[in-house]
Amino acid sequence: MGTTCILDVATPLTMVLAETTSQDSIYYLHGLDLVAQSDGTTIDYLAYDGLGSVRQVLDDVSVPLLNQTFDPYGNLLARGGTGESRFGFTGEQVDANGLVYLRARYYQPGMGRFLNMDPSRQEMNPYQYGFSNPIDYTDPSGLIPIECMIDSDSDECLDARFRPYIVSREQWGAREPVFEYCYEDFYGEECIRGEDVFWEGLYDADCNPDGYAPYEDYKPGQTLEEIIFGAVIHHSGNTNDMTIQEVQNEHMDGNEHMADIGYHFVIAKDGTIYEGRDIGVRGFHVTAANTGRVGILVVGDFEPGDWLGTYPNDMKISNEDPDIPTSNQIDSLTALIRYLDVIYGLRLVEGHNDVNPDTRCPGNRLEPYVVQLDSQFGGE
């Protein structure tokens, strides 16, 4: 009879919540890290060293039930006591065969190497663990080493703990931003305000305040943590099955001639998260309120029917059923919002129609999730 596990897959790093065999069940309590384990009768607490390895299991009055030590690569050096825990080196789950489960792949402490190639292809040596420096680096995702101790709240460590897997612009083949004009091209050195120009262009405080604006130029002296305060959720509407490339092409080559894709992230129907516009650049996804708001597109049409006219006096012209957000999309959206909240401290999670009431986006099938996420992560 095998072991049945209950997992929390909505977190960036999948966590085990419970394990059940034919003989017993173990339940796990998580904070930022695994805090305690229980068999349903007693609760045991875990104590960690600076690398995050489980060194002790303690009862409810702090009496050690298990003591264990590891060498730098995670080989067990000594163990004593009557307590048990499946979590050991760097706080990760260890199988009965001694392999350490690091989500994307298994690590073999005896070899100091992964058993499988790096699926992210981000390391020169695809089997290498922790840059061959296991004293300073861990790799909880199995994708990329991180340099942090268990109690560190540095940006790098928070990013590594909470960042979901995001397909980078380079990985999906993003086009580079294009600035088809600046005001000087049209008007010379003299700025003319209020002209109707149909290209986003590059930000200029005097001539093009609505242009493509890196925050380091637009808000000099302020950090992203100070600038970013909210996330806005969108759907793709009647063009409901767009790829990330198609979204970028529509934004850059369409009527608005954006300098780049307008959203900061796009979540495909299979739950894959794609990096869009650089998060250090003001988005182009709502009207007159993009500063400090991260734009997230969830691919799909979550509002029934096609519409003609201007809301609220528009007319429905067809009755196709709307899409329903997939469970993978909701899991990925939740993980992404959690990550943004940890890194930037979100105060608002909004739908597009919360910012611009003249739109139905993100659709009535997605709106309940937006409300839920705002309640969970928004601070206002």
Per-residue pLDDT of the chain (380 residues; tens, 9 = 90+): 588 999 987 777 888 999 998 889 999 999 878 999 999 999 999 999 988 999 999 999 999 999 999 999 999 999 999 999 999 999 999 998 999 999 889 999 999 999 998 886 666 788 999 888 898 888 988 887 877 655 556 676 677 667 788 889 999 999 999 875 544 444 444 444 444 444 688 888 887 888 899 999 999 999 999 999 999 999 998 766 889 999 999 999 887 789 999 999 999 999 899 999 999 999 999 999 999 999 999 999 998 765 444 434 444 445 456 689 999 899 889 989 989 998 999 999 999 999 999 998 999 999 999 999 999 998 66
Could you tell me if 302 and 330 lie in one domain? yes
| Residue 201 placed within a domain | no
Same domain (yes/no): 173, 119:
no
The set of residues, in sequence order, having a beta carbon less than 8 Å from that of 221 and lying 6+ positions away, is none
Residue whose tokens read 């993009």:
290
Measure the CA–CA gap between 339 and 332, rounded to whole angstroms: 10
Q: Based on the domain organization, do 46 and 149 belong to the same domain? A: yes
* CA atoms of 106 and 100, how far apart (whole Å): 6
Distance of CA 161 to the CA centre of its chain: 10
Distances (CA, A) of 185 to 177, 182, 218: 18, 6, 21
Let me know whether 83 and 52 are in one domain: yes
- On whether residue 336 sits in a domain, the answer given is yes
Residue 33 lies in a domain: yes
**What pTM did the predictor assign?**
0.66
- Considering the domain boundaries, does residue 14 fall inside one? yes
Q: Are 89 and 74 in contact (CB under 8 A)?
A: yes
Residues 103 and 173 in one domain: no
Residues 274 and 225 in one domain: yes
Q: What is the dihedral of CA 83, 85, 89, 94, to 10 degrees?
A: 140
Determine, yes or no, domain membership for 197: no
Query: How far is residue 131's CA from residue 136's CA, in Å, rounded to a whole number?
Result: 9
Domain boundary among 153, 186, 203: 153
- Residue 266 pairs in a beta bridge with 274, 297
The answer to whether the beta carbons of residues 250 and 238 sit under 8 Å apart is: no
Number of structural domains the chain divides into: 2
Residue 187 domain flag: no
229 and 124 in a single domain? The answer is: no
Cβ atoms of residues 240 and 300 within 8 Å:
yes
Are the C-beta atoms of residues 275 and 295 closer than 8 Å to each other? no
Rounded-to-integer distance, Cα 190 and Cα 241, Å: 44
- Per the domain annotation, does 182 fall within a domain? no
Does 355 lie in the same domain as 324? yes
Give the residue from 99, 121, 153 where a domain finishes: 153
- 327 vs 135: CA distance, rounded Å: 38
Domain hosting 79: range is 4-153
* 142 and 229 share one domain: no
Q: Are residues 322 and 173 in the same domain?
A: yes
Count of CB atoms within 10 A of residue 247's CB?
A: 20
My answer on whether 148 and 239 are in the same domain is no
- Could you tell me if residue 202 is inside a domain? no
Instruction: Answer yes or no: do 82 and 145 share one domain.
Output: yes
